[in-house]
């Protein structure tokens, strides 16, 4: 699975994660270890998906699926879309 | 209904040739009224292209004054340092196209005045630069059933979505509340370049024109997120959600000042 991290979250990077089937929560943990920055603080709040970051799997918002428990499969494309407010 | 006169037929000749616009579309544009909130980086191209296209009535709200740091991206304020931005933008519009009636509101949109301002227009364009202002406009447009074209930018990145109240996903369906203050950099802290605001502002103006002429497709129930540094375009599905704090089952019934501070959370009673 491929994870896109925009510059406003982490240096603009596309990161490949080798896993067959994991939850978003597990993905965030693996990703944090891989990039050496704890993304859990950003993405998880009170054990739930934080209300100000959106995680999309193949263009679908996991907030409207099973949140952190949503399954990511091999070959999926995950994008993290941060909130921006500039104008 | 307005009828195009000779000079209008010349002025709009190039767009009158487009089948989706034509005489009827141009009349719709001349009859339309659009409120642009924020006359900064996004607002500049929005105001410029809507005025040029002949949108008949443009309201411009902005409480700030033009300063030197604005000029690398706010392209309509030439020579107006120190002037209120809404008034400076109105001057630009008057010079560009005498067909457009322009109303300058030299103040910020607040909980007190938002619904009243929104109600006077057919469409609202969100060109503001803070989370509270964005949530406030979303909620005011839901309450007044006024279509809203949202965009926000940072550095080379930005996003756009169009909201048809109660029909398509709203801004809070995408983002229920704002990040804690300080956790997301602002343009003032992290920077922005004029091409980013220009790109997204032009897309916003295009959404407004399509809304007015009822043609084409809109960024409704989807959000376009673009990283212009890497030419990475992501069209993301956003669905209208029953648990949305603004447009869901427990939708908001009024604007309350406590909804627009810090994280802009709506506490349902
Ligand atoms: Zn909503």
Buried b (16+ CB within 10 A) or exposed e, B169-178: bbbbbbbbbb
Q: Indicate yes or no: CB of A86 within 8 angstroms of CB of B241.
A: no
Within a 10 A sphere around the Cβ of B253, how many other Cβ atoms?
7
Q: Are B118 and B150 in contact (CB under 8 A)?
A: no
Q: Compare CB distances from B152 to A4, A63, A86 and report the shortest one's residue.
A: A86
Per-residue pLDDT of chain A (87 residues; tens, 9 = 90+): 999 887 667 766 789 999 999 999 999 999 999 888 888 888 888 888 888 788 999 878 898 889 999 999 999 999 888 788 999
Residue B148 is predicted with a pLDDT of: 98
Residue B209 is predicted with a pLDDT of: 98
Cα of A21 to nearest chain B Cα, Å:
22
Q: Are B157 and B225 in contact (CB under 8 A)?
A: yes
Cα torsion angle, A34, A40, A43, A49, sign: positive
Residue B192 is predicted with a pLDDT of: 93
B59: region left, alpha or beta (phi > 0 left; psi from -120 to 50 alpha): beta
Q: What is the DSSP string of B213-229?
A: HT-S----SEEEEEETT
Q: Compare CB distances from A51 to B130, B177, B239 and report the shortest one's residue.
A: B177
CATH match of A2-82 with 3.30.200.20: no
| Segments making up each domain of chain A, as ranges | 2-82
Residues in chain A: 87
CA B63 – CA B67 distance, rounded (Å): 13
Closest alpha carbon to B179 in B112, B53, B264: B264
Q: Are B56 and B80 in contact (CB under 8 A)?
A: no
Q: Does A46 touch chain B (CB under 8 A)?
A: no
| Segments making up each domain of chain B, as ranges | 32-260
Residue B269 is predicted with a pLDDT of: 52
Q: pTM, whole model, 2 decimals?
A: 0.92
Q: Indicate yes or no: CB of B225 within 8 angstroms of CB of A81.
A: yes
| B32-260: CATH class | alpha beta
Residue A8 is predicted with a pLDDT of: 67
Given the residues B141, B170, B173, B187, select the one marked as catalytic: B187
Residue A21: strand, helix, or coil: strand
**What is the mean pLDDT, run by run of 10 residues, along chain B of 269 residues?**
90 98 98 98 98 98 97 97 98 98 98 98 97 96 98 94 97 88 77 96 98 98 91 87 91 92 77
pLDDT, tens only, B11-34: 999 999 999 999 999 999 999 999
Contacts B187 to A, Cβ<8 Å: 86-87
Residue B150: strand, helix, or coil: strand
């Amino acid at each position: 699975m491929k994870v896109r991290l925009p510059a406003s979250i982490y240096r603009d990077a596309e990161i490949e994660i080798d896993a067959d089937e994991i939850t978003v929560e597990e993905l965030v943990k693996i990703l944090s270890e891989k990039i050496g920055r704890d993304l859990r603080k950003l993405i998880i709040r009170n054990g739930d998906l934080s209300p100000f970051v959106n995680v999309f799997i193949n263009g679908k918002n996991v907030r409207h699926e099973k949140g952190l428990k949503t399954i990511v499969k091999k070959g999926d494309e995950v994008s993290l879309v941060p909130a921006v407010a500039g104008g | 209904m307005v009828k195009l006169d000779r000079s209008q037929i010349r002025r709009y000749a190039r767009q009158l040739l487009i089948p989706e616009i034509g005489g009827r579309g141009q009349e719709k544009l001349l009859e339309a009224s659009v409120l642009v909130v924020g006359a900064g980086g996004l607002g500049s191209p929005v105001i410029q292209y809507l005025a040029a296209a002949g949108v008949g009535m443009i309201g411009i709200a902005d409480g700030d004054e033009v300063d030197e740091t604005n000029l690398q991206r706010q392209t309509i304020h030439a020579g107006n340092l120190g002037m209120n931005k809404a008034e400076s933008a109105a001057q630009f519009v008057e010079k560009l196209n005498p067909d457009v009636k322009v109303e300058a509101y030299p103040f910020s949109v607040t909980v007190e005045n938002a619904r009243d301002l929104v109600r006077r227009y057919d469409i609202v364009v969100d060109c503001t630069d803070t989370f509270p202002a964005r949530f406030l406009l979303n909620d005011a447009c839901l309450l007044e059933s006024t279509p809203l074209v949202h965009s926000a930018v940072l550095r080379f990145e930005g996003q756009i979505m169009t909201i048809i109240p109660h029909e398509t996903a709203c801004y809070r369906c995408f983002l229920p509340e704002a990040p804690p203050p300080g956790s997301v950099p602002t343009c003032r802290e992290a920077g922005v370049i004029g091409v980013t605001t220009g790109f997204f502002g032009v897309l916003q103006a295009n959404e407004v024109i399509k809304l007015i002429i009822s043609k084409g497709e809109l960024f409704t129930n989807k959000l376009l997120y673009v990283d212009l540094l890497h030419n990475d375009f992501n069209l993301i599905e956003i669905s209208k959600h029953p648990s949305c704090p603004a447009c869901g089952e427990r939708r908001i019934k009024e604007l309350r000042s406590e909804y627009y501070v810090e994280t802009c959370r709506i506490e349902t009673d």
